[in-house]
Amino acid sequence: MRPELSEYPFDWMLWRSLISASRLKHGSEKEYQSALRYIPYFKGVVNTIYNMGSPGQKFLKIIETYVERIVTAKENNRKVAMTTFCFSPALLHAMDIVPVSLEPMTVLGSVMWKRGCLDYMDFCTDIGFSETGCSSQRGSMGAYLARAASEIDFIVIDSAGVCDTNSNAFSFAATYLNKPFYGLNYPATLIDDQTKHYHRDDYRNMITFLETHTGKKLDIDRLREVLNQHAKQDALIHEIEELQMLVPNPMPVTYNFLIYAGRFFFSGVSLYTELLEEMLEIVKQNAKQGKSGLTGGQEKLRAFFIYIDHYSLDLKLWTLLDQRGISHLGNILSRGFSAKAPYIKYVQNHGYQIDTSTLDSMIDSITEINARMPMVRSIRGPYDLPHMWLEESAALAKLLKADCCVYNGTPGCRNTWSNVKLIANDLEKHGFPTHIMYGDAFDERVESWEITSTRLEEFFTIRGLL
Amino acid sequence: MIDIFLNAARTIEPNAVSEEKQHGKLVVGYTCSYLPAEILHAAHIIPMRLRGIETHSLEIADSYYGPFICTFPKCLLQLASQGSYHFLDGAIISTGCDGMRRLDECWRKAGSDYHGSLPSFFHYFDVPHKRESYAISWFIEEIRKLIQHLKTHFNVKITDDAIRQSIQLYNHGRRLMFELDSLRHTEQVRISGAHAFAVSVAGTILPRELFTEQLALFLNHVKNTNTIMGKNQKRLMVVGSVNDDLELIELIEQCGAIVVSEHLCFGIRNEDDLVNETGDPVAALADRYLSNSACPRMFGYFSERLNLVKEKIQKAHVHGVIMQNIRFCDLHGSENGLMEHALEALGIPCMRIEREYGSLTETGRIKMRIQAFLERIES
Amino acid sequence: MTIIAGCDVGSLTSKAVIMQQDKILAVEIIKSKAKPQESANLVLENALTKAGLKLPDVQFIVGTGYGRDHIPFVHKTMSEISCHARGAKWLVPSAKTIIDIGGQDCKVIKLDKTGNVSKFIANDKCASGTGRFLEVMARMMNISIQELGEVSEKSKQPIQFASMCTVWAQADVVKYLNSGFALEDIGAGINMAMANRVSMLVSAIGIETDICMTGGVSKNSGVFVSLERILGHKIKKARKLDPQLAGALGAALIANDQIKGRA
């Protein structure tokens, strides 16, 4: 790691960048434009976010607050949990624990800084972590391991049985930092009674772990508040998802990103609810006018991303889609699988219910929410079994009237790289031309965005989609 | 005397298995050391650990698996698709690691593209990654599901008594292996690392009665042999990801060292960990197999594994540790990193090697590294 | 008069050093032949001719390099790691960390107080971080490997290469060439990418000064300077001898030890 990077903590740098970014629009347009001249490497992403309008500004506020909570946790006497994107942070918010979700933090570094999180990734390799491990964790994790970030108190994740690479990264961190570790472990099955019992035992055991390490009992009122907020957020998301099925899709291209990122940061917290309300308003207006959410106003193609997005500097993927008139219909990170979701009856109808009547029912609800988090639900077992990746990808692509499917991930993903060729074949059989991107969502050294995007465009052209 | 073990270790289909097969015995392959083979044995089925040796190209496997995947499951898929595993009556895929568990899907797909390559009994066996009591209950259920599937598919009986007898037989084998291992700890070593490893691999391949009987004879032979090794030789330990490749151990010994211990999922790992022979046999199996945190697939148990390795280093008077892993094995790749730091801090020289599996290993380069490592220890 | 020799048969070049105790009598570098035996015979013969000696005059020969097991005349073989370490220590006595970049691999070696190898790490996963990477890139740019090293000095804005993979980087080089970017900026970018890759290995083993660099690539000033910048430390140059000869030199020095040991 370059020596200068250890001078300033990673999360602190993110926080200061975000504060500056969120203040840029406080002055006049002229002031804004001249400020941009002073941030040549940063203006791309700032522009992209401000072009989202008011939800963009709200989103900036959300991430600023999220990172602020991390860097100020110690002075506010809060415990910090290192965790993963597919772990619902709602419980942590309910227990007044500050989450540091590594993958979304790597996304922030990747889209905001020219150097991305590459130095931190390489630091992991320096200290013995496998170079082929997933870059999504290695990015921000490197900063925490290098002690070039806030100190964490414990690690809590839910990827055992779901993703080895993920679990392995966090257990490595636990050993290296000598911190308490708890990992939820998921069976390949989801809905039978035995599995449900197992989920409950494991989740409750985790709550005990959190109570032990925070010295605080789970507060029933706070949990209820978080779950009520969660239900509200679900309802808003479902309304947006319903409208997303329209042709043209009235949803602006970046909204999927905001929906899932917001969920990973602030599930069950009112800031996220407010963001969703604003987004829904805009989508509704567009829908009323029969307008596409794309900047150009014309929807030429509808693409469903079956895995994750590409987080190159300045959110270039979304700019490319927007410029080419391509609607982004969401990806594996977008859906929560609540029992009320508009698509739930097409994926064997086993969504979670939120029941806030008793403490037990609330813990059961959040357990079920967690078992349906992205990746946890879809890649636990064989991809072509019920409640798994193929079923949901095919159903959603059809429901959303996708013209094609796109896979993007990281070379560190053993799971999907073991069956992406199979699912791509299956989706083709379902009638969806499917493209596999070979790049790394967080590390352009694997394949530059220029090459990745050229190949993507080639796919659109050759398959006669554009 | 070693020949039967060498034959088993060097071939996909050993003579002893073919003979039993001709007498109507069923053979079921499995992929991970967390599968209680006793269950298959109790059903009068030969349990056989699946191996990827004898693979020379991956052209079939690469059309199912993506590029960033360990070559071990790829070799298994290649062999299965090209018909090398024609003699299997069944296969059990465990959740050993992500690359391995996805063999389930890849093999099933290849099965429809390459007629006859998928055995009629095909089972996905889920194994918890933790040891809490509720995880053991889940594991017991998984074992019961496997028993049920075997019973209905093969129309066999699997009684508790039969399982108990199998447990006794397997435990007996474990004790013999443990004894064999102890003969490598002394200053004068009576068995080469390659031969000890061949025995250990054969233990996962040969019919268990035959293996145990032969092992008892072999052990007697080793105890009384006049051949003494290990004098002026560097004593090495091999750890890391899956290896059933005799040639790797032979390569290390060709460089002048002797391998006196290993911590590999095919080698001697925790033979002293016996299954309880009383009580509910399924619960006893679940308890033993899951209490075994020897593999980094069990997340959060690093210090236990480190202690296990340290203990072995002490017992076998190891001079240096070779830590190998197959490329794209994140579990062992980073575990080796942690272990290297911990052991080097204690003054134990370690060397990490990342390689391809089996015959795809780049022997020239590995050999240079081993030589340099030995020169380092000697200096 | 005790004459000893070291012979390093590498993948791209073969090297020989002939010494009389601590004094170098002759050195030779040739392009490796198809068979290691041929390379070994030729390189040693040339060196002997330069020194005015014949094979029987040499008391002890140590062989190293990938072809070491096929050299007919050697008395002992040693791994490149030990030989490079020994050679580098002779060239730069204060060296604690040695970076050796050859045609096919890149090694970083750490020495203890007495000059023994205490740790080493090698990158042989792919061509990135090796001389082969530079060779391929120079060929793409239609310049010599020497020129590639020198262009860095002229560059004001080195291009940042996204990819360290030789295959992908080639595609990027073509793209930049076609877009009319200055040759020196592309070249400097390549050298920088190479230095980045190597610095990861150095960090993995832990830096201890003094650092010295050997192997053919150490002659590339672009990589050398970039590496100094990334590591934040000066790298000592081997001035007494061509740094590409460090392996053969080390082999000769080990041969000398053997003779002394016998005496």
- pLDDT tens digits, residue range C38-47? 999 999 999 9
How many domains, chain C? 2
Instruction: Give pTM, 2 decimals.
Output: 0.90
Q: Which residues pair with B262 in a beta bridge?
A: B238
Residue in chain A closest to C197 (alpha carbons) equals A122
Contacts of A445 in chain C (CB under 8 A): 162-165
Chain C residue nearest residue B374, CA to CA: C79
Q: Which CATH number does the domain housing residue C151 bear? A: 3.30.420.40
Distance CA B77, CA B90 (A): 14
Among B214, B264, B177, B205, which residue's Cα sits nearest to residue B40?
B205
Same domain, C217 and C247: no
Measured in angstroms, the CA of A252 and the nearest CA of chain B are apart by 33
- Any C CB within 8 A of A444 CB: yes
Rg (CA), chain C: 19
Q: Does B365 touch chain C (CB under 8 A)?
A: yes
Question: Given 3-state DSSP classes, what are the helix, strand and coil percentages for chain B, each rounded to the nearest 5?
Answer: 50, 10, 35
Reference B47, options B265, B203, B244; nearest CA is B203
| Residues of chain B numbered 125-154 and touching chain C (CB < 8 Å) | none
Torsion of CA B320, B325, B331, B334, to 10 degrees: 50
Contacts of C122 in chain B (CB under 8 A): 365, 369
Residue B27 — left, alpha, or beta (φ > 0 → left; ψ -120 to 50 → alpha)?
beta
- Do C131 and C86 sit in the same domain of this protein? no
Across the interface, whether the CB atoms of A419 and B106 are under 8 A apart is answered yes
Q: How far is B353 from chain C (nearest CA, A)?
A: 9
Whether residue B67 and residue A188 make contact (CB cut-off 8 A), yes or no, is: no
What angle, rounded to 10 degrees, do the helices at B71-81 and B103-113 form?
20
- pLDDT of C263 > 60? The answer is no
Which residues in chain B are closer than 8 Å to A383, comparing Cβ atoms? 105
Neighbours of B3 (CB within 10 A): 10
Cβ <8 Å between B375 and C81: yes
Q: What is the pLDDT along chain B (379 residues), one digit of tens a residue?
A: 899 999 999 999 999 999 999 999 999 999 999 999 999 999 999 999 999 999 988 999 999 999 999 999 999 999 999 999 999 999 999 999 999 999 999 999 999 999 999 999 999 999 999 999 999 999 999 999 999 999 999 999 999 999 999 999 999 999 999 999 999 999 999 999 999 999 999 999 999 999 999 999 999 999 999 888 888 899 999 999 999 989 999 999 999 999 999 999 887 777 778 999 999 999 999 999 998 788 999 999 999 999 999 999 999 999 999 999 999 999 999 999 999 999 999 999 999 998 888 776 777 778 888 999 999 998 7
Q: Do C105 and C194 share a domain, yes or no?
A: yes
**Which chain A residue has its CA at the smallest distance from B331's CA?**
A168
Position C163 scores a pLDDT of: 58
Nearest chain A residue (CA) to C206: A126
Residue burial B85-99, b: 16+ Cβ < 10 Å; e: rest: beebbbbbbbbbbbb
Q: Are residues C180 and C100 in the same domain?
A: yes
**pLDDT tens profile A123-180:** 998 899 988 899 999 999 999 999 999 999 999 999 999 999 999 999 999 999 999 9
Q: pLDDT averaged over chain C?
A: 87
- Give dist(CA C37, CA C43) in Å, integer: 10
Residue C123 shares a structural domain with residue C217: yes
Q: How far is B72 from chain C (nearest CA, A)?
A: 17
Chain B residues in contact with C105 by the CB 8 A cut-off are 365
**Does residue C210 have a cis peptide bond before it, meaning omega lies within 30 degrees of 0?**
yes
* Inter-chain residue contact A447 with C162, CB threshold 8 Å: yes
Q: How far apart are CA B31 and CA B51, in angstroms?
A: 8
pLDDT score at C162: 64
Q: What is the pLDDT of residue A38?
A: 83
Every domain of chain A and the residues it spans? 3-217
C-beta of residue A164 within 8 angstroms of C-beta of residue A87: no
C99 shares a domain with C74: no
- Angstrom distance (rounded) from CA B142 to CA B120: 20
C103 and C116 together in one domain: yes
Report chain A (466 residues): mean pLDDT per 10 consecutive residues. Answer: 85 93 89 86 86 92 97 98 98 98 97 91 91 94 97 98 97 98 96 95 98 97 98 98 98 96 97 98 98 96 98 93 97 96 92 97 97 96 95 97 98 95 97 95 87 91 93
Is the minimum CB–CB distance between A122 and chain C shorter than 8 Å? yes
Assigned CATH topology for domain A3-217: Rossmann fold (3.40.50)
The 10s digit of each residue's pLDDT in C132-163 is 788 888 888 888 877 888 888 888 888 877 65
Enumerate the β-bridge partners of residue C60. C4
Q: Which domain holds residue C246?
A: 1-92+240-263
Interface of C with A in 7-36 (CB under 8 A): none
C143, C223: one domain? yes
User: What ipTM did this prediction achieve?
Assistant: 0.96
pLDDT averaged over every residue in chain B: 94
Give how far the C-alpha of residue C205 lies from the chain's centroid of Cα atoms, to the nearest Å.
Answer: 18
d(CA A232, nearest CA chain C) in Å? 43
Same domain, C110 and C138: yes
